Structure 1
Amino acid sequence: MTAAEILAYFPSTFLSFLVAFSLGVVFWVAGLVLVSLITPHSELALLRAGNLPCALALGGKAIGMVLPIAAVARSAAGPLDQIIWCVVAVAVQLVVHLVLTTLLEGRLKQEIEADEVGGAAVFIAFMQVGAGILNNAVMSG
């Protein structure tokens, strides 16, 4: 393929990139907002205050959330397919979040309130990333 042919395809492929990237960002941010809404504290305020346990847990959730969304962007048949599978990706991460917070019975909340990193923040971060990696692998085919 010549450079001229590549440049001729660029506008349509760039538009496809923008659509896929934008959908990914929308679902990533929406997923993180949903997670924040179901937590008993204001994660954004805690992050601004420099709360390390919150930063670790939310960072793990953010990475865990974006991994399957990235897999969907790579393998989707089009925007509608991407939307459907992004909903599934976010739902899986939300379920993992709810299961982990239930299993730990408020331990993360205690760590965040004390602003002391303990096992809960680290465990939740790693488990969310692990769930995201598994979710990514399954969704990328």
Structure 2
Amino acid sequence: MTAAEILAHFPATLLSFLVAFSLGAAFWVAGLVIVSLVTPQKELELLRAGNLPCALAFGGKAVGMVLPIAAVARSAAGPLDQVIWCIVAIAVQLLAHLVLTTLLAGRLKQEIEEDKVGGAAVFIAFMQVGAGILNNAVMSG
């Protein structure tokens, strides 16, 4: 392919990129907001205050959330397909979050309230990333 041919296709590919990136970013943020709404703490306030257990757990959620959303952006057949699979990605991460916080029976909440990193924050962070990796692999086909 010549440089002229590449430049001729650039506007269409740029538009496709912008749509896919924008949808991915919007769903990433929306997913994090949804997960934050089901947590008992005000995570954004805690993050601003420098709460380390919150930062670890929320960081794991953020990475775990973006991995499958990135896979969807790469493999979607179009914007509607991307939207549908982004919703699935968020649902899987939300389910992982709910299961983990239930299994640890308030341990993360205690760590966050005491602002002391313990096993719960680290475990949840790694498990959320693990769920995201698995979700990414399944969604990227």
TM-score, structure 1 normalization: 1.00
Q: Counterpart of 1:125?
A: 125
Match of 1:91 in 2: 91
Equivalent residue, structure 2, for 1:9? 9
Residues in 1 aligned to 2:76 and 2:23: alpha-carbon distance in whole angstroms: 11
Equivalent residues in 2 for 1:71-110, closer than 5 Å = 71-110=71-110
Mapped partners of 2:4, 2:78: distance in 1: 26
Cα distance per residue 1:61-120 (max 9 Å; x no partner): 000000000000000000000000000000000000000000000000000000000000
**Whole-angstrom distance in 2 between the partners of 1:83 and 1:135:** 16
Does 2:48 align with 1:53?
A: no
Amino acid at match of 1:4: A
TM-score, normalization by structure 2: 1.00
Provide the aligned length of Structure 1 versus Structure 2: 141
Q: Which structure 1 residue ranges, 4+ long, deviate > 6 Å from structure 2?
A: none
Segments of structure 1 that go 5 or more residues without pairing to the other structure are: none
Unaligned regions of 5+ residues in structure 2, if any? none
Q: Secondary structure at the match of 2:77?
A: coil
RMSD: 0.2
Alpha-carbon distance in 2 for matches of 1:41, 1:117: 16
